[in-house]
Structure 1
Amino acid sequence: MAIELPDELIQLERAAQDAQAAATSASPPEGAWVAWREAAARVQAAITEHAAATKENRVAVEMGVKKAVRHPEAAGS
């Protein structure tokens, strides 16, 4: 049975990935590490909240979100 992932979780994970890319670039903009840490905290909080609300396994929700963002071609399987 596949876990239903709201678009909000996908968008938050994408934002965290973008923030990570900026922070780890050759010339990161000032504040990029703080932005990455804050984006990561937002996505983790949203995943925890979603898992609790739907009574899904939190790790399974996180893995589903990461798979949907990092490997969108495989997320539907």
Structure 2
Amino acid sequence: MGHAFEELVEKQRAADQAHHRVDDLRHAYGPPAEHKWSKKQTTTYETAWRAWRDLDRDIRSAMAEYAKEQHRPRQEVETDVKTAVGRTAAE
């Protein structure tokens, strides 16, 4: 299955949003070693983390496939996607 560049950008945005959600939860709940999380907090965090992990895996796979289809280096495609999303490759 081929991927359009715009699809990669949307997938990256979704992965970024999921990552921000995980960061927000970490900040709100505090380090689990210092604060006892409730069962609900633990479930919420683990669900958010799995969503981020899955979205990140999907975008990486899609970028690799796109790069292969376009005969371009994967890192170049990744940089172009991240630029289109509005962030630097270092993030």
Give TM class, smaller chain. 0.7 to 0.9
TM-aligned CA deviation for residue 60 of structure 1:
0.3
Task: Give the number of the structure with larger relative contact order, counting CA–CA contacts within 8 Å between residues 6 or more apart.
Answer: 2
Paired position in structure 1 for 2:5: 6
Q: TM-score, normalised by structure 1?
A: 0.79
Paired position in structure 1 for 2:18: 19
| Deviation sequence 1:2-52 (CA, Å, 0-9, x none) | xxx611000000000000010110347711111111010010000000000
- Which whole-Å CA distance do the structure 2 matches of 1:57 and 1:20 have between them? 25
Paired position in structure 1 for 2:56: 40
AA partner of residue 50 (structure 1): Y
TM-aligned CA deviation for residue 67 of structure 1:
1.1
Pick the structure with greater CA Rg: 2
5+ residue gaps in structure 2? 30-40
Greater Cα offset, 50-59 or 19-28: 19-28
Instruction: Compute the RMSD of aligned alpha carbons.
Output: 1.7
Across the two proteins, how many residue pairs are aligned to each other?
67
AA partner of residue 6 (structure 2): D
- Which whole-Å CA distance do the structure 1 matches of 2:50 and 2:15 have between them? 11
Q: TM-score, normalised by structure 2?
A: 0.67
| Counterpart secondary structure, 2:68 | helix
